[in-house]
């Protein structure tokens, strides 16, 4: 099912800012509180960055798509790419510490979002991030 | 993201403005490591008062700066943290790992 807002960007990190602004505006249109929006933007940005770094291995010529939708009182963000299989749930994410150089992106996604689902759909990775809202949609 | 460096003999202030993300963080990392490495600065202050967003790659750049500073017994300080970047550092359990001050003046006095 298509989302309410859909965005496809090239897998170049220069487009992350655009994706963040779309997520921010989507949340604003739904009156999601600013503090929750800030966190959601971080999680979606990290998921898109993971696609660029891991699924595409830095190849900037591919495409990543983001679909934003609501389900009841939850926001849902689906990220799709056609890169190498990369299941964020396969990776152990211990709490970050000062000495670790990586792994904080996945840690942030898990700390912020309520649910993370992954499926390999043919040649595509599909990651779905869900967040239950502190304030019911439409109540602001 | 823009970076402006104010440098004395052995002290630098890095003024960052804009978002620090996967696209821009290599520039911050290179600047920090250049100052602490080749230029042998004894104190590096990173002013983030014009930064609304930092991602995990930006956090990793700051961690590398902190580690490089520790190796050289140099000082590495963050100032002007806005709510968003502060929250990311809290979530990654790093807020208390860095020396953090409200302003450059506070950092220089400390």
Strand extents, DSSP E, A1-140: 5-10, 63-71, 74-81, 115-121, 124-132
H-type alpha helices, chain B:
25-36, 56-71, 83-91, 104-109
Q: Please indicate if any CB of chain B lies within 8 Å of the CB of A42.
A: yes
Give dist(CA A14, CA A28) in Å, integer: 23
Which pLDDT value is given to residue A2?
A: 65
Q: Specify the range with the lowest mean pLDDT, choosing from A65-74, A129-138, B37-46, B91-100.
A: A129-138
Q: Please indicate if any CB of chain A lies within 8 Å of the CB of B99.
A: no
Q: Please indicate if any CB of chain B lies within 8 Å of the CB of A41.
A: yes
- Per-residue pLDDT in tens (0 to 9) along chain B, 110 residues: 999 999 988 899 999 999 999 999 999 999 999 999 887 899 999 999 999 999 999 999 999 999 999 999 999 999 999 999 999 999 999 999 999 999 999 999 98
Calculate the alpha carbon distances from B57 to A75, A105, B10, B11, B61 in Å: 25, 8, 27, 25, 6
Contacts A91 to B, Cβ<8 Å: none
Q: pTM for the whole thing? A: 0.94
Q: Tell me if A17 and B67 make a contact (CB, 8 A cut-off).
A: no
Which pLDDT value is given to residue A92?
A: 74
Q: Please indicate if any CB of chain B lies within 8 Å of the CB of A110.
A: no
Q: Tell me if A104 and B87 make a contact (CB, 8 A cut-off).
A: no
User: Per-residue pLDDT for A93 more than 70?
Assistant: yes
Give dist(CA B99, CA B75) in Å, integer: 9
Q: Tell me if A104 and B83 make a contact (CB, 8 A cut-off).
A: no
Question: Of B75, B84, B89, nearest to B46 (Cα)?
Answer: B75
Give dist(CA A81, CA A62) in Å, integer: 8
Which pLDDT value is given to residue A98?
A: 67
The token duo for A16 is 């992350």
Which pLDDT value is given to residue A113?
A: 97
Q: Tell me if B56 and A39 make a contact (CB, 8 A cut-off).
A: no
Q: Give me the mean pLDDT over the A65-75 stretch.
A: 95
């Amino acid at each position: 099912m298509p989302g309410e807002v859909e965005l496809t960007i090239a897998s170049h990190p220069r487009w992350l800012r655009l994706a963040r602004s779309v997520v921010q505006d989507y949340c604003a249109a739904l009156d999601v509180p600013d503090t929750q929006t800030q966190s959601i933007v971080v999680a979606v940005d990290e998921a898109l960055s993971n696609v660029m770094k891991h699924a595409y291995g830095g190849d900037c010529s591919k495409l990543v798509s983001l679909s934003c939708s609501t389900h009841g009182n939850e926001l849902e963000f689906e990220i799709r790419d056609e890169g190498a299989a990369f299941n964020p749930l396969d990776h152990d994410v211990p709490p970050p510490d000062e000495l670790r150089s990586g792994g904080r992106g996945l840690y942030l996604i898990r700390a912020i979002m309520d649910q993370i689902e992954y499926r390999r759909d043919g040649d595509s990775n599909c990651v779905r991030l869900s967040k239950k809202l502190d304030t019911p949609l439409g109540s602001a | 993201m823009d970076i402006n460096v104010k440098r004395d003999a052995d002290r630098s202030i890095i003024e960052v403005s804009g978002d620090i993300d996967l696209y821009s963080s290599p520039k911050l990392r290179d600047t920090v490591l250049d100052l602490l490495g080749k230029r042998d600065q004894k104190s590096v202050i990173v002013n983030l008062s014009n930064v609304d967003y930092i991602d995990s790659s930006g956090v990793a750049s700051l961690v590398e700066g902190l580690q490089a500073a520790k190796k050289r017994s140099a000082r590495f300080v963050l100032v002007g943290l806005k709510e968003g970047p502060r929250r990311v550092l809290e979530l990654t359990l790093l807020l208390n790992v860095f020396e953090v001050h409200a302003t450059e003046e506070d950092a220089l006095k400390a």
